[in-house]
Amino acid sequence: MTAQPAQSTIAVVLQVRDGRLQALVWQRAREPQSGRWALPGGTLAAGESLEQSIRRHLAAKVDVQELSHLEQLETAVDGAASAGWQVTTAYLGLVPTHLDPAIPADTRWHPLEALPPLAFDNGATIERGRDRLQAKLSYTNLGFALAPPEFTISELRAIYVAALGHAVSATNLQRVLLRRGVLETTGERREPGPSGGRPAALFRFRTRTLAITDQFAVLRPQRAGE
């Protein structure tokens, strides 16, 4: 047996900022890939789990408290990494809109439609993270991880539009999420702005942990099925 590969973790951290879905990346100052932008992460330490590892590395970039959701994406061998033999496990992390983490000088938020030159396979990894987010917005309550604690339907709609990249009807968004029991009203309302308009009711997510709300129900068990 030869030597072992280095094990590292990286994370695609996404947040809706300025009405666009953006990813947290930092600019490499040294070789390899000096000057290119990369996803935050680092090597695995003895005695820690993969999730502990990525949380520890992210702590250097964003306050870990501010991550509303974290899940594993995929693991791959870094083929032609000039840095040597490397196995990398990627995570998806989400930050809600009401937070604006303090980030180091080498780190930036970049809109997914306008990413700078990325190191390694990080571009593909970011796409996978976005795909996962978009899919789960449809059949889970994952919206809680992007939204603030309370919000109007209009605000929530803007978040969904940014994350999904296509128009979303406020009417239907409200109805789908209420019917499924994902949202509940707080009873309070937001006063209208200077230009008037009816006050908007405030809503919150009923639970802020991931739950499947739309059992892709086809071929579901029959009446008295086993």
Among residues 77, 106, 116, 181, which is the contact residue for its own copies, using CB under 8 A? 77
Give 143: exposed, middle or buried? Use CB within 10 Å, 0-12, 13-18, 19+. buried
Residue 52 binding DNA, by CB under 7 A: no
* Residue 23 or 168 with smaller CB distance to its own copies: 168
CA distance 121 to 25: 13
Return the residue matching tokens 């300025």.
18
Return the residue matching tokens 């994350």.
163
Residue 166 binding DNA, by CB under 7 A: no
CA distance 204 to 184: 6
Residue 225 CA, chain-centre distance (Å), reads 38
Among residues 19, 84, 165, 199, which is the contact residue for DNA, using CB under 7 A? 199
* Residue 37 or 168 with smaller CB distance to its own copies: 168
Among residues 173, 182, 183, 205, which is the contact residue for its own copies, using CB under 8 A? 173
Residue 124 binding its own copies, by CB under 8 A: no
Among residues 179, 181, 184, 188, which is the contact residue for DNA, using CB under 7 A? 179
Residue 154 binding its own copies, by CB under 8 A: no
> Nearest Cα to 116, choosing from 10, 17, 16, 38?
38
CA distance 156 to 172: 12
**Sign of the dihedral through C-alpha 174, 176, 179, 182:** negative
**What does the binding site for its own copies look like in residue numbers (CB under 8 A)?**
1-7, 43-46, 48-50, 72, 74-77, 79, 85, 87, 89, 135, 137-139, 160, 164-169, 172-173, 176, 214, 216-219, 221-222, 225-226
**What does the binding site for DNA look like in residue numbers (CB under 7 A)?**
152-154, 169-172, 174-176, 179-180, 189, 191-201, 214, 217-220, 222-223
